Amino acid sequence: MKHILVVEDDTINAVVFRRILERRGGYRVTVSDAGPEVLELVRSGGVDLVVMDVSLARTEVEGKAMSGVDLCRLFKADPRTAAIPVLLATAHAMRGDAERLIKESGADGYVAKPIVDHAGFVKIVDDLARKAA
């Protein structure tokens, strides 16, 4: 069973992501917005894909505030974690935001919140997870 890490600081969004991914996708899901825990999980080799909120209000690494874009850059710059797909999830859904955020972060995909098309969301995750295998 594939393991998805959801990096989300909003409790309601975290619950929604977990339920969709577990119930519709059949994934094992861990949710965290704690910077050190997120890094440890990703570096452990046990995470197959990361769903990353772009705007993380409370996430810090070594005392430095980190956005989802910052964390994604960190993952993609590290040879141990560079191949793990990252799907950005954000309410920033204006024209051009997807392309800009993917370019800035090095992420592998983008989805707008709130997630209204659950089947479509699971398909995006499935496609990215399959590429990582």
Beta pairing class for 28-32 and 60-61: unpaired
Query: 3-132 adopts what CATH topology?
Result: Rossmann fold (3.40.50)
What is 49-112 written as a DSSP string? Answer: EEEEES--SS-EETTEE--HHHHHHHHHHSTTTTTS-EEEEES--STTHHHHHHHHH--SEEEE
What digits encode the pLDDT tens for the residues 77-107? 999 999 999 999 998 777 888 889 999 999 9
pTM of the model: 0.95
- Would you say residue 41 has pLDDT above 90? yes
Instruction: Check residue 93 and give its pLDDT.
Output: 72
Domain extents in the chain: 3-132
